[in-house]
Amino acid sequence: MGGKKFEDEDELIGEVRDWFSNLDANFFIQGIYSLLPRTGNIFSIYFGGTLVIVLSGYDVLKEALVKQGDIFVDRPLQGLSGVVQVKNGIIGSSGSVWKENRTSVFQIFKNFGLGKDVISQKILEEVEFYLAYLKDLKGSVAYIQDITTCATANVTCNVVLGKRFHYDDSDALCLIQSISEYMTLVGGGRMHTWFSFVKYLPGDLFQSKRLMTLQEEILVKMRCFIENVKDEERKGLGSSNLILSSIEKLEEKQKTGQPTELSMYHLERIVFDLILGGSETTSTTLLWFYLYMVHFPDIQDKFYNEIIREIGTDRTPAGQDKVRLTYVNAVILETQRLATISPFSILHRCSKETTIAGYTIPKDVQVLTHLDAVMLDDEIWGDARQFRPERFLKEGKLFYPEQFVAFGLGKRSCPGESLAKMELFLFTVSLIQRFKIVPSDPNNLPIRDYVRGATCCPVPFTVKFVQRTDA
Ligand code: HEM
């Protein structure tokens, strides 16, 4: 096929070597950014023998992930990382396995009323526990990163396992820490993503052995969850949850002789993927929201005033309120846009040679989609680095530009999007209805910078949640 070829860029090699020698995933992001002015919206890098194409810019991403969606839908042949080689479940799988696992999860979510009342009720149950915890702090200076991750993980657990965990449950806390560490190590452009041989090196400089141990530990835990759910069901104590629904689906298919890829092997990974995908993403977004509210108290006041106007203080917010709270929705969108917690999304693969923006993309090449570059593109947003919720309002109505790509684009876009949006709405509105978020030290606001972990999380900070007098 014709089209432009990528040129060897010797000077880039030096820079790429620098990122790796720093062994810090932040350098990976900054490194890619530093190349953009010279390379434009599409360029290639060799990581060892692996060719990786980086796609930036909305038109380029849309061309690949939407218009040529079938070609870019798969994950790399090696799975998520050369070291752990995940190819089952949803996040790391491809082809018919991925399709059936993802469709099955969507159907179950839909049956649970995702985006409707049932799911809102599950979220609101958790919100009450979370706000009770904040109330107990009595306005003192608090570090709330861990507790916020527990709260959002509990929402996912409620849907997937049919149960939540106490905030001081040491087993649950340990699992959340393991999942967070796993996400940090499996993502983020580390050495073992492309150089699987590092697992054979003595010691564990690149943390590949740690990653393999974590994966095994978490999978053991997932198997226990599945056995517990089956046990409760046998005792007649089962509540509706994704595990039970998946087992029913599998048994039904086996009974009626329908061909299926579903299996217990995939189910344990699906549970893993949903808890992994649904915990730190939503909590990190909430942390950015708290940080922005401390930096922009006028915006927090406007957010609160809309709640008072539309809901008042006599009742708790409900899922149905979401469509009326225009300014609130704009602030949440702006939080997601500016924070862009998943700047490089998850690796894709080009399964057939094709052309994007005039460039030939070879078959089986790995593809990094640079969401950050779209969300922070001045040509799209004008003043992209400013926190300005009004950009999502037009003539008093919510305006949702297609360039808002926080959940990815195309067939692989986030299956938890509706759940996450409802969580963000109910957590932020319920919290601001009852508390004012104020800085721990008004003369020393927390810095607005990120650390790259599982997601791009704000640098750890403390705040005070001061209960409103009319709450
Ligand atoms: C603010 C919250 C969230 C954000 C910003 C977010 C963002 C993303 C992004 C960017 C992707 C990758 C898309 C791609 O590969 O091109 C993704 C995939 C995924 N997310 Fe989310 N997500 C969020 C919440 C959730 C929740 C609540 C769940 C589950 C309960 C979830 C489950 C998943 C799964 C399973 C995938 C893999 C999809 C696939 O490979 O087909 N996410 N998410």
Residue 4 has pLDDT above 90, yes or no: no
Mean pLDDT of 268-279: 90
* Residues listed for the chain: 471
Mean pLDDT of 28-48: 73
Q: 146 or 32: which carries more pLDDT confidence?
A: 146
Instruction: Look at strands 359-361 and 393-394 and give their pairing.
Output: unpaired
Residue 11 has pLDDT above 70, yes or no: no
Q: What is the pLDDT of residues 384-405, one digit of tens each?
A: 999 999 999 999 999 999 999 9
CATH fold for domain 10-467: Cytochrome p450 (1.10.630)
Residue 85 has pLDDT above 70, yes or no: no
Q: What is the CA(156)–ligand 1 centre distance, in A?
A: 12
Largest Cα–Cα separation, the chain: 68
pLDDT recorded at residue 8:
43
Q: Is residue 22 very low, low, confident or very high in pLDDT (cuts 50, 70, 90)?
A: very low
pLDDT recorded at residue 16:
47
Output the CA torsion 280→383→333→99 (10° steps): -70
Q: 402 or 35: which carries more pLDDT confidence?
A: 402
Q: Which atom of ligand 1 is nearest to the CA of 341?
A: 5
Distance CA 101, CA 260 (A): 10
> For atom 11 of ligand 1, which residue has the closest CA?
414
* In 84-207, alpha helices (H): 95-111, 117-136, 145-160, 170-186, 191-194
Least confident of 181-195, 284-298, 331-345, 375-389: 181-195
Per the listing, tokens 């705040």 go with: 463
**Pocket lining for ligand 1, CB < 6 angstroms:** 90-91, 102, 156, 273-274, 277-278, 281-282, 285, 341-342, 345-346, 369, 406-408, 412-416, 419-420
Residue 437 has pLDDT above 80, yes or no: yes
pLDDT recorded at residue 30:
63
Write out the two tokens for 260.
Answer: 């299926």
Cα 403 to Cα 61, 327, 381, 387: the distances in Å are 10, 19, 9, 17
Q: What is the CA(125)–ligand 1 centre distance, in A?
A: 23
Residue 251 and residue 154 in contact, taking contact as beta carbons nearer than 8 Å: no
What mean pLDDT value characterizes the chain? Answer: 87
Distance CA 406, CA 421 (A): 11
Write out the two tokens for 242.
Answer: 């994704």
pLDDT recorded at residue 31:
66
- Residue spans of the domains in the chain: they are 10-467
Residue 7 has pLDDT above 60, yes or no: no
pLDDT recorded at residue 29:
60
Selection from 263, 405, 426, 282 nearest residue 343 by Cα = 405
Cα 166 to Cα 152, 154, 171, 218, 220: the distances in Å are 12, 9, 10, 19, 21
DSSP character for 318?
Answer: -
Residue 115 has pLDDT above 60, yes or no: no
Residue 411 has pLDDT above 70, yes or no: yes
Ligand 1 pocket mutation, candidates 183, 271, 281, criterion most atoms within 8 A of CB: 281
pLDDT recorded at residue 343:
86
* In 23-116, alpha helices (H): 25-39, 58-62, 95-111
* Bridge partners of residue 367, in order along the sequence: 53, 348
Q: What is the CA(234)–ligand 1 centre distance, in A?
A: 32
